[in-house]
């Protein structure tokens, strides 16, 4: 073998080796504000650290984590400026409000949440004295109204109508809570009861009254207990009936403060549950059969180091379908 052959071969081998090794590591490093946890898309999460007032928003579609306090500080929009948390003593719990209102003869659902003051007790009637701000989307931007905008509503005003709808929701939640609590097995203490508001509205739209009553039984009633179990009920004529085995959430043995848990819709297929004790968001869903804990995400993977989440609000309808196990 002559020298030129050797050089040719060595070059070929070296270049191939370099090519292979260079291609071996295909990982990418996301930019600091893009965090892909694999959460269901089309949702917005608002997260608050109650001890510091740190306040973050996370869009599960754009995967962008935003410091809402910074955004409020830099914004010229008063609605965005109102997001700012300046006083940690005003942080109590989130109250999710699926606001169903009529506009031009059609029902609309606008998911909102209220940051309640610490003295508010779940189930109590809401007025401007028990919350600090109401948050929802103004177009594409998350924005807030401060409680003082809702003080002393005039008779017949939109604010008064809003309070009526809000307190109707609170009353419905109280009724749901009592109904579900009664159905739970002995020894289980209900933390939070939940019915998907989007599914409920869809049922109300699609069926006439008689049929809606009949179909109402299909709406799944979710029950999170303080031991970290999730129970599932259908509403039958004689009351709630357990639909399947309970699901045990990972690493949850007891929940200290149920008012700071969150249960929200993730998609047509399931729900997201936030448990502050474990700093984890759980996805409980089903793919045509039993609900199960499908995934769990550690909050620490989302928020900056040293920041914890005491409250998490979840807005949005989520994915129309979870394709994870859908078959062609």
Partner 1 sequence: MRHMILTAACCLALPLASAAQTELAPITVTQPPPENQNSDTTDLGKDAANATLGGYLDNMPNVDSASYGEAVGRPVVRGMSGYRIKILHNDNEVSDLSAMSQDHAVAVAPRASERIELLKGPASLLYAAQAGGVVRIRDVLDDPFLASGWRGQVAGDLRASPSSHNLDTRLTWSNDTWAWHFGGLTQDAQAYESGRGERIADSDLSTAQVQLAAGWRPGSRSEWLLSTTQLEKDYGIPNDTAEATRINMQREDYSLKFRYDPAPIWLDSITVDAHYSDYLHDETEGGRKDGLFGQQQQQAALQLSWSAALWSGETRLSASNSELRVCHEHGACNDFSHAPRSGVPLGESILQYIESTGLPYSHGHPMPDTQSRLWQLSNVADRPLGADYRISVGLHTQWRELKPDANNIQEQWVYPEQLDAVHYDTRREDAWSVSLGLRREPLNTTPLSWELSLSALQRLPSVDELYWNGFHHATESYIFGTPHLDTERSLNLDADLSWSKPRHRWQLSGFFYRFQDYIFQDQGYTDEGAPLSDPFHLSDVWFTRQSDARFIGGSVRYEHHSQAQAEHTWMLWLQADALHAEQSDGRHLPRTAPANLGAGLRYEHSNWLATASLKHVFEARHLAPNESATDAYNWVSLYLEHRLQRGQQALDLWLKADNLFDVYAQNHLSVLKDTAPLPGRQISAGARWKF
Binding site for partner 1 (CB under 8 A): 1, 5-6, 9-10, 12-13, 16-17, 19-25, 37-38, 227-228, 244-248, 250-253, 278, 283, 286-290, 292-297, 323-328
Q: Name the residue nearer to partner 1 (CB basis): 25 or 119.
A: 25
CA distance 131 to 150: 10
Judge whether 173 and 193 are in contact, CB under 8 Å.
Answer: yes
Q: Name the residue nearer to partner 1 (CB basis): 70 or 245.
A: 245
Q: Name the residue nearer to partner 1 (CB basis): 21 or 305.
A: 21
CA distance 95 to 116: 7
Contacts of 212 (CB under 8 A, 6+ apart): 203, 204
**Residue 104, Ramachandran bin (φ over 0: left; ψ between -120 and 50: alpha; else beta):** left
Residue with tokens 């939640």, as numbered in its chain: 173
Q: Name the residue nearer to partner 1 (CB basis): 21 or 32.
A: 21
Strand, helix or coil at 316? Answer: coil
Q: Name the residue nearer to partner 1 (CB basis): 17 or 89.
A: 17
Judge whether 133 and 150 are in contact, CB under 8 Å.
Answer: no
Residue with tokens 């196990």, as numbered in its chain: 325
> Which contiguous run of DSSP H or E holds residue 245?
none
Strand, helix or coil at 290? Answer: coil
Contacts of 138 (CB under 8 A, 6+ apart): 79
Judge whether 67 and 303 are in contact, CB under 8 Å.
Answer: no
Q: Name the residue nearer to partner 1 (CB basis): 209 or 327.
A: 327
CA distance 93 to 50: 9
Strand, helix or coil at 181? Answer: helix
Q: Name the residue nearer to partner 1 (CB basis): 13 or 64.
A: 13
CA distance 50 to 30: 28
Tokens linked to 168: 């109707």
**Minimum CB–partner distance for residue 22 and partner 1 (Å):** 7
**Minimum CB–partner distance for residue 49 and partner 1 (Å):** 22
Q: Identify which of 59, 62, 105 has the alpha carbon closest to the alpha carbon of residue 315.
A: 59
**Minimum CB–partner distance for residue 240 and partner 1 (Å):** 18
**Minimum CB–partner distance for residue 10 and partner 1 (Å):** 7
């Amino acid at each position: 073998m002559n020298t030129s052959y050797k050089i040719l071969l060595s070059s070929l081998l070296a270049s191939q080796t370099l090519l292979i090794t260079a291609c071996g590591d295909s990982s990418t490093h996301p930019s600091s504000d893009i965090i892909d946890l694999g959460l269901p898309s089309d949702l917005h999460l608002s997260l608050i650290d109650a001890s510091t007032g740190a306040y973050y928003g996370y869009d599960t579609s754009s995967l962008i984590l935003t410091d809402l306090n910074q955004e409020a500080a830099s914004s010229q929009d008063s609605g965005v400026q109102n997001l700012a948390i300046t006083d940690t003593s005003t942080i109590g719990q989130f109250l999710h409000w699926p606001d169903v209102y009529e506009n031009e003869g059609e029902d609309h659902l606008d998911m909102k949440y209220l940051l309640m003051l610490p003295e508010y007790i779940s189930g109590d009637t809401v007025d401007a004295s028990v919350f600090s701000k109401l948050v929802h989307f103004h177009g594409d931007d998350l924005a807030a109204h401060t409680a003082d905008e809702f003080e002393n509503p005039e008779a017949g005003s939109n604010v008064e109508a809003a309070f009526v709808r809000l307190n109707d929701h609170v009353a419905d939640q109280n009724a749901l809570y009592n109904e579900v609590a009664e159905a739970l097995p002995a020894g289980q203490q209900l933390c939070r009861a939940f019915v998907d508001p989007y599914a409920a509205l869809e049922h109300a739209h699609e069926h006439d009254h008689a049929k809606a009553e009949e179909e109402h039984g299909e709406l799944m009633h979710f029950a999170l207990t303080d031991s970290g179990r999730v129970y599932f009920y259908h509403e039958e004529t004689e009351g709630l009936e357990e639909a399947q085995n309970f699901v045990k959430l990972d690493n949850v043995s007891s929940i200290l403060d149920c008012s700071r848990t969150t249960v929200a819709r993730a998609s047509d297929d399931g729900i997201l549950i936030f448990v502050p004790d474990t700093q984890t968001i759980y996805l409980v869903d089903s793919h045509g059969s039993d609900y199960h804990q499908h995934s769990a995400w550690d909050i620490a993977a989302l928020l900056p180091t040293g920041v914890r989440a005491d409250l998490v609000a979840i807005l949005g309808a989520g994915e129309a379908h979870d394709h994870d196990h859908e078959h062609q």
